[in-house]
Structure 1
Amino acid sequence: MGRYNFKLPDVGEGSAEAELVGWQVEPGDTIVEDQPVVEVMTDKASVEIPSPAAGTVVSVVGAPGEMLAVGSVVLVLEVDGPGNAGDEAAPSVVQPQPETPPAAEPPAGTERTGAPAGEGNYVFKLPDVGEGSAEAELVGWQVEPGDTIVEDQPVVEVMTDKASVEIPSPATGTVVWVKGAPGEMLAVGSDILILQVAGPGNMTAAPVSSEGPSEAPSPAAVAPARATVVPAETPERRAASPATKPGFATRTPGEKPVASPAVRRRAWEHGVQLQFVPGSGPGGRITQDDLDAYVESGGALGTGAPTGRQPKTGTEDVKVIGLRRTIAKRMQDAKRRIPHFSYVEEVDVTDLEALRVTLNAQYAKDRGKLTLLPFLAKAMVRTLPDYPQINARFHDDDGFVRRYDGVHLGIATQTPTGLVVPVVHHAEALTLWECGAEVARLAAAAREGKASRDELSGSTITITSLGALGGLATTPVINYPEVAIVGVNKMIERPVVRGGQIVVRKIMNLSSSFDHRVVDGWDAAEFVQRIRALLETPATLFVED
């Protein structure tokens, strides 16, 4: 028998770490090779990671909500044979404890005068929050000066690019001072909290600077300023105020609520303190549905609100973070780097819609229902071989355009956390129903945060649709580094002149955008007109060359 150290593999997207969502095994379990053992979350999706070997679980590292470094040992197995742990030490604990900061010189102006005998001050520095970040944004304090707290009790929530992180206290004591208000950036390694603890603490006495405190004030100086540490107007403080309905309290002080970054972000935006939200997921994990139910039941609302119509004077500043920040950066890059031009054409889809309804009536039970998107995909697949410059990606940094024989259709999909583009790979090889099923599968995976890295990359041209909200025309933004995007607008009935008669037809506009560095206006117009001809005469979609 031997020990096998399982290290967190590369989760893609260039991430150096991932958030632990939950363990699916525990010490003592006997597992087989390829059995899912842990679920982690990246910017775009939750990923289940299988075991690379069979054996008995000896230990696991980390609790839900913690960040795991890629390449670090996260699970130890006892396996048949020598294993792989002969040259490296296995983790000695099942759940890592917060690192106790080393003794530090106090900030200028901090003194211990007045501390009772046998007590001292303990300075807590912001620990490394991972991802190579030198700082983190303060979301909110969960304690304030005067509070008595215990070791491992969550004291502050900070946010990185990818997740909200609750940081526990490394010691038991009374809060003397906290640094910063929600929205401020805190440097890793800087003093953020001072505790009065039993014993000497980790601060030595220091003279008071003649210029006054530069970092942390003396314990005596902070007490009168308690109310100004965190502004009363912030969503975090409103959620923690007595106005929050106490009937929803489901956790004891110090018990950490478990939730994904997406849930934490929504809770922060709505002013909801997760401490009071019941969790129905595995291990008490708070889901999106739990948060919705809590808000709908009035859990985030105060009492005593005025009943008459009052002028609304409030404002809300929402920090652009996480996936929203990624989307903003990509859209800005696309508009900055790509000289867009748009082309809008109306398409008579009366016959196409009649065909779709007929096919669904006959085959939906066995093959699934068809939307208009598979028909558009088939029309694009039939047309793109004659316009290879449109089924391409422009690598402008390196000065070349890569054209593709295969058609990899990106499907712009709205999710609870923002816009993502799952990809139907090799759409040219799929039947109408296969394409429809793949579009539905990918959209569902994207909305649930389950789409894999491969399913979210590699598109050569994108389709975007707002469905019934599609409007009459749009100017879609190209999904860089692609060179074209085709937008579907809503289908409406309009009076149309046909053969000298006014008839009612079903009309749908196609709004497309192109990279003018690669695609000429004439070619773009021809491309769209070819698609229009196929959609208006849907039988031609099935005519083999």
Structure 2
Amino acid sequence: MGTHVIKMPDIGEGIAEVELSQWHVKVGDLVVEDQVLADVMTDKAMVDIPSPVHGKVIALGGQPGEVMAVGSVLISIEVEGAGNLKESAAPAPVAAKEPPVAAKVEAVVESKPAAAAAPRSAPVCQGPMVAREADERPLASPAVRKHALDLGIQLRLVRGTGPAGRVLHEDLDAYLAQGQTNASAPAAAAYAQRHDEEQIPVIGMRRKIAQRMQDATQRAAHFSYVEEIDVTAIEELRAHLNEKHGASRGKLTLLPFLVRALVVALRDFPQMNARYDDEAQVITRLGAVHVGVATQSDVGLMVPVVRHAEARSLWDSAAEISRLANAARNGKASRDELSGSTITLTSLGALGGIVSTPVLNLPEVAIVGVNKIVERPMVVKGQVVIRKMMNLSSSFDHRVVDGMDAALFIQAIRGLLEQPATLFVE
């Protein structure tokens, strides 16, 4: 028996250290080739680290939240034989081509005597219930944790069927179906005093989001501008196009129309499509419009980028927005897909409220926020009529963008959306 040591790989882009975000295995686990061992977080994306061998985990090189240097020992796996002793001790880099997030990483092998395996934790039951240690925190998304809390279910008792034993909504349903919790508890239980606490480490993607938001609010001179827009006409156009072409070209949401409005308005306001390097004191205005589309995922807010929006049709933009959103939500977006935006569009859809104050996505100087559409009585040519209204809540970097220019920019977008034919007049 020998030991296969996997060192923290060189993710590329000159990154010297990464954050260990999550383990998918523990000491004593048997692993197979290509099984994901851990997630690590770079400045731009989450990266999966797969196993290059079959074997048993005998040691973990760090704890979630720990920042590890490239080349440091990540994990040790006991394997059959002595291992490939001819491997170099330096970590092999990721392939030079544009890698997906789940890029396969070569491991480094060192010859060591086999270590004794740590005792394994209690086996998982085959049913919906599992016995975990009292202090063991099962993997689950915030939504699943809230759902379990609402149902009065202790997550540590629920068997997870997701990746790495993650507890899913379906697992909660299975647990309830087996009668493992008292779903019909007296109503008085809802008013019982509670004294429980939960400490949640700010690590991985959540730490990166926190750092970026703090950095943006400390460095940029934010100001926001809100304007209401009558979207009745563009919603009618969208419905017409979906009825006529939806089956063959795909359904259109409002987002591709907003992307198109940004592209057209930026022709007259190029100072909004820019990045500001405040250390070098240089503003870079770009001809290409790379629109970041803020997307919520289980690990937090991500901003995949629709590149060269200026060269895309409505349906092309719609397909790319959908593809990128799915990749981000599934954790499959590459580093390149999550970087390089020149202006950002953020929307909470039906939950968009009436006003918001978006935080800039530095080093950009403008972000356009979309609020929900509501039907309201409006006075049009002296008559009270029902119109579909929507607010745009946008933020700008006052170090670069003057208030008058910001207002004129949003008014230009308003004009384009209220008279949608102008979106396509060259």
> 1:120 matched to which residue of 2?
none
> 2:87 matched to which residue of 1?
85
Say if 1:320 and 1:339 are closer, same or farther in 2 by CA, change over 3 A.
Answer: farther
The TM-score with structure 2 as length reference comes to 0.72
Unaligned stretches of 5+ residues in structure 1: 30-35, 52-56, 99-150, 156-246
Aligned with 1:321: secondary structure? Answer: coil
Q: Tell me, yes or no, if structure 1 residue 542 matches structure 2 residue 424.
A: yes
Distance across 1 between alignment mates of 2:324 and 2:227: 28
Say if 1:483 and 1:95 are closer, same or farther in 2 by CA, change over 3 A.
Answer: farther
Distance across 1 between alignment mates of 2:356 and 2:23: 40
> 1:152 matched to which residue of 2?
119
Summarize the alignment of residues 133-532 of structure 1 with structure 2, pairs less than 5 Å apart. Answer: 151-153=118-120, 249-250=129-130, 266=145, 276-281=157-162, 285-289=165-169, 292-293=172-173, 307=188, 310=191, 312=193, 314=195, 316=197, 318-319=199-200, 321-322=202-203, 323-532=205-414
The TM-score with structure 1 as length reference comes to 0.58
Amino acid at match of 1:494: R
Aligned with 2:353: secondary structure? Answer: coil
Distance across 2 between alignment mates of 1:383 and 1:425: 17
Return the index of the structure with the highest Cα Rg: 1
How many angstroms does 1:515 deviate by?
0.9
How many angstroms does 1:8 deviate by?
5.1
Distance across 2 between alignment mates of 1:87 and 1:369: 52
Amino acid at match of 1:369: K
Amino acid at match of 1:521: G
Q: Alignment identity in percent?
A: 47
> 1:42 matched to which residue of 2?
40
How many angstroms does 1:319 deviate by?
3.7
How many angstroms does 1:530 deviate by?
1.0
Q: RMSD between aligned alpha carbons?
A: 4.5
Distance across 1 between alignment mates of 2:373 and 2:113: 57
Unaligned stretches of 5+ residues in structure 2: 91-107
- How many residues are treated as equivalent by the alignment? 380
Distance across 2 between alignment mates of 1:21 and 1:11: 19
Distance across 1 between alignment mates of 2:333 and 2:114: 29
How many angstroms does 1:418 deviate by?
2.4
Say if 1:64 and 1:86 are closer, same or farther in 2 by CA, change over 3 A.
Answer: closer
Determine if contact 2:345/2:367 at 8 Å carries over to the other structure: yes
Amino acid at match of 1:363: H
Amino acid at match of 1:42: V
How many angstroms does 1:396 deviate by?
1.7
Provide Cα deviations, 1:340-381, integer angstroms capped at 9, x if missing partner.
111111111111001101111122222211100110001101
How many angstroms does 1:84 deviate by?
6.1
How many angstroms does 1:446 deviate by?
1.9
How many angstroms does 1:416 deviate by?
2.5
Aligned with 2:393: secondary structure? Answer: strand
Structure with bigger RCO (C-alpha 8 Å, 6+ apart): 2
Determine if contact 1:494/1:506 at 8 Å carries over to the other structure: yes
